[in-house]
Amino acid sequence: MPTASAQPLHHSVTDPLPGMGAIPHADGVAFRVWAPNAQKVSVIGSFNDWQAGVDECISEANGYWYININNAEPGDEYKFHLVNGEQQLQRIDPYARIVTNSVGNGVIPALDFFDSPLTPFEMPAWNELVIYELHIGTFNAKDGHVGTFDTAIERLPHLKALGVNAVEVMPIAEFAGDYSWGYNPAHPYAVESAYGGPEAFKRFVATAHEMGIAVIVDVVYNHFGPSDISLWQFDGWHENNKGGIYFYNDWRSSTPWGDTRPDYGRGEVRKYIFDNAMMWLDDYHADGLRYDMTLYIRSVEASAQNLIAEGWSLLQWINSEVEARHPGKITIAEDLQNSAELTLKREDGGAHFGTQWDAGFVHPVRAALIEMDDANRSMAAVRDAILNQYNHDAFQRVIYTESHDEVANGKQRLVSEIDPSEQPGRYAIKRSCLGAALVMTAPGIPMLFQGQEFLRDQWFRDDRPIDWHRAEEYASITTMYRDLINLRLNKTGCSAGLTGQHTAVYHVNDNDKLIAMHRWREGGVGDDVIVIFNFAEGRKENYVIGLPHGGEWKLRFNNDAGLYNEQLDETPSGDITANEEGRDGYDFSATITIGAYACLIYSQDQ
């Protein structure tokens, strides 16, 4: 290798700067890359007419290469040129924060690329979170173009008015092409250029924070690519025709998305993924991470066989460090195996996630809501879905009836599963609204999927934008969601129990398909909340329900109220007064009237 003294004059001879990739500083730009099998590495770019060998890197220990170039500057495009035997390779920087596109060049970031936020923001307490999952490309696409962070910002006031206080954005790392769900990351450190790139994402985060909305980023660490990935055989070395230094090169490489599983046992790859997770929180000031399908990080197969111990330890490392560096920021696992170990602390052998998507809720609840024959609806299954929890913590699960997975790949939006008509009928509206009420009142962290609040139909596609005209058409349904969210967050001080740990499903009538649950935080008047669900056709009048306290119980919500939709039945439910006749294990009871496929929420004034 050339010595420092043999380098061209525009190379400053200084102590190496810390960091990876392009490292801008006051007197130029330093570059560092990991390429242990290369014999030579140089930086090529617009600052040296893309000439290989002009700016050759110095070999550091453990396969790292470094150079400082004082005539390179922010905005310049660049790549690494690697020589391995006869191979002459051009690679985009694995740590590139900006790329022109997935098959283009890296771009040197500005010196002040990561500024401190202008507005301080504190993540809401997890028991007071309402998450809204959205896809930037379709959330507010316009004029036949893919949606961007800036077009998404235009709809944040809608979310604020709805009462949502956290958005979970589907993956935004640079992927192949302009249209994608995002689960094919080509460049994990670069923000998708079609969405506006990193500057636009920073604007999105800042605007969301100004509105009191947290931002959770969906990250993909179970595979990379599978296309347009410069990481593939990065420095020319590989075994078994597999991925080279960033990937497993044996049977552990196999995933449902190709032979693209990162090598979780290799220190440099572990650090690459760890640094990426911290970037979203440290640099972009995101408020949490949702990990795509952790089952394929901790095991090779969907059956959770052939466990990958180093994948599990990587999850433990990242998640425990997130908690240490950023108390209150959330880590969410999509694992869907009902595994309590995911949300156990690291010191107890768990993966140290804050919470996880709950298959034990969504699948039985969707099945109950989609079922056409009332007689086949299982109230025991709904009860078990309500009470499912992990490690005796109600908020170690995220509950929902729609997500990007649940409304695609052969499945549709809930209203379309019930009624495939473009304009959903009475059954679809009533049962989907019943599902919304269940999500907002059951123990757990509730989550909506974009457009659910105005009955978005059919299925999710990355080229099918949200139809915001539907928001006007079904504005009353959006009002219903807003009222549910206000109760879920105890906005008026009458429903604190919905933010609490405690739940009793104390009335289960499988003949009449009716369930009642009692939610409480501390307990007592003004805290206790009673929620009653009718999962069948037909109004029920003079139906007796047990209550924990005497006195008047105020009706806080009735999704059968006419103000929510003219197709509903407008059942005349109202306030009730408890008498001293015991029922359902409680000392008091009252008679209610509840409509078909309806939910009633009661609490008492203090």
Helix (H) or strand (E) holding 189: strand 185-191
Cβ-contact 377, 535 below 8 angstroms: yes
Q: Nearest 5 degrees, angle CA 341-CA 354-CA 369?
A: 85
Task: Map residue 597 onto helix, strand or coil.
Answer: coil
Candidate list 76, 218, 287, 334, residue with the active-site label: 334
What is the phi/psi pair of residue 330, to 5°? -110, 145
The amino acid that residue 197 corresponds to is G
Residues 6+ apart with CB under 8 A from 20: 32, 33, 34, 94, 95, 275
**What's the alpha-carbon Rg for the chain, to the nearest Å?**
27
Per the listing, tokens 């209203």 go with 415
> Facing residues of 251 across strands?
none
CB 434 within 8 A of CB 428: no
**Taking the CB of residue 517, how many other CB atoms lie within 10 A of it?**
22
Of the candidates 473, 435, 381, the one whose C-alpha atom is nearest the C-alpha of residue 598 is 435
Q: Cα–Cα distance between 173 and 184 in angstroms, integer?
A: 9
Q: What would the two tokens of residue 163 be?
A: 């009462």
Q: Which residues contact 566 (CB under 8 A, 6 or more apart)?
A: 476
What backbone phi and psi angles, to 5 degrees, belong to 60? -100, -175
What is the DSSP secondary-structure string of 496-547? GGGGSSEEEEEEEETTTTEEEEEEESS-STTT-EEEEEE-SSS-EEEEEEEE
Do residues 333 and 342 make contact, with C-beta atoms less than 8 angstroms apart? yes
73 is catalytic: no
Catalytic residue among 55, 76, 133, 292: 292
DSSP, res 127: G
Q: Is 76 a known active-site residue?
A: no
Instruction: State the Cα–Cα distance between residues 599 and 12, nearest whole angstrom.
Output: 70
- Identify whether 226 is preceded by a cis peptide bond (ω within 30 of 0): yes
Closest CA to 437 of 482, 389, 377: 482
- Residue 289, SS3 per DSSP: strand
Token digits for 467?
């139809």
Three-class secondary structure of residue 325 per DSSP: helix
Tell me how far apart the alpha carbons of residues 47 and 76 are, in angstroms, rounded to a whole number: 7
- For the chain, give the longest Cα–Cα distance: 95
* Catalytic residue set: 292, 334
